[in-house]
Structure 1
Amino acid sequence: MRLALIRHGQTDWNLNGLMQGRTDIPLNDTGRAQAEAAAALLDAAEWDVVVSSTLGRARETAELLARRLGLPVAGAYDDLVEQDFGAAEGTLVAEIDARWPGRAFPRKEADEHVGPRGIRALERIADEHAGARVLAVAHGTLIRHVLAEMSGHDARHYPRLDNLSVSEVRRTDAAWQVVTVGGRSFAEVREALDAAADLVRLAG
């Protein structure tokens, strides 16, 4: 199965540097324009359906992509929603580390739960859209954790994903593999991931 994980378009909270998480902030006009521009770079002939997380910014991004590409919107999945950042949501990202050292936010969804949750969503999508080539609109932190779960790396070492960036994965013989990360080949990104892991091991 071929599947592309796409980060939703910009919201006002993204623009203003606020931690967003599960808070259901809509796209702004820039986010809508980003979706239109991204659709123009995708080949409709290479994809069959568009799905998304259940949060509004992802659903609207999916609808804009689908309309431009002439593809159906084929579902929204709770397990694709962004990590819940608890008490930190709505806080300036620049102030997060000072307020909560180690990013131990009250009521935060545990980091180790995010990747497996995202994989469950992909498995459900694969079951419900067997053989289809799927565009799945989700969220930056969720996508990084999913990719890390597949590759065995630390999600914190994955690069930040821009709005409407595309990360492709595939499933063969019941195993998921990372193909690209934000438009870059996984082979290229893996060098930096492995180097970061080596530094952690040496420091330990």
Structure 2
Amino acid sequence: MTSKDELLTAIAWAAAQGWTPATGGNFSARVEGGYLVTASGRDKTRIQADDLLLCDLDGQVLKGSGKPSAESDLHAALYRLDEQIGCVLHTHTVASTVLSRRFPDGIALNGFEMQKALQGNTTHDATLCLPVVPNSQDMDVLAAHVRDAWPMPWGFLVAGHGIYAVGRSVAECRRHLEAIEFLLACVLEESRWSQ
């Protein structure tokens, strides 16, 4: 399966989870000469190959019709920041949006078996922190927040916005996204108990 096919499959999967409401979210994969990224305003439940644009690492469109997502520049910044990143998957879920507002300094995880799905972790006993960066409509400012908090090996949350999962491949990024979304759902559910 090519990176394009893998990316399309991952987008359709994320949309099927309900993680891309109102055409939200954006998705990309590094390819030779740049990265593929979703065009702006496309319904992710009906994603097609021609909904992907080829951009260079400065975010300029090289091939495809339409304009890239407003956040494509953040994808470009991530690919420039870390050459190990092969994929970026960005979704909007209730858990990631609410918890990123409630815990602007990061979300602590401990005791969850699913932590082991995050690359480099082998135990549920470790305490991990999912980083949260301040939101901005200015992608240069948002990219600066991300650079200041780097490294973030599985991704990060943007306050009041959602999650950006990263991985060395589409498969690893998808695993990170699914694990993080599960963990955030657990934290959100636990927070209801304490009220």
Asked if these proteins are the same fold (TM beyond 0.5), I'd say no
* Greater helix content: 1
Which structure ranks higher in relative contact order (CA pairs < 8 Å, sequence separation ≥ 6)? 1
Which structure is larger by alpha-carbon Rg, 1 or 2? Answer: 1
Alignment TM-score, normalising by the size of structure 1: 0.29
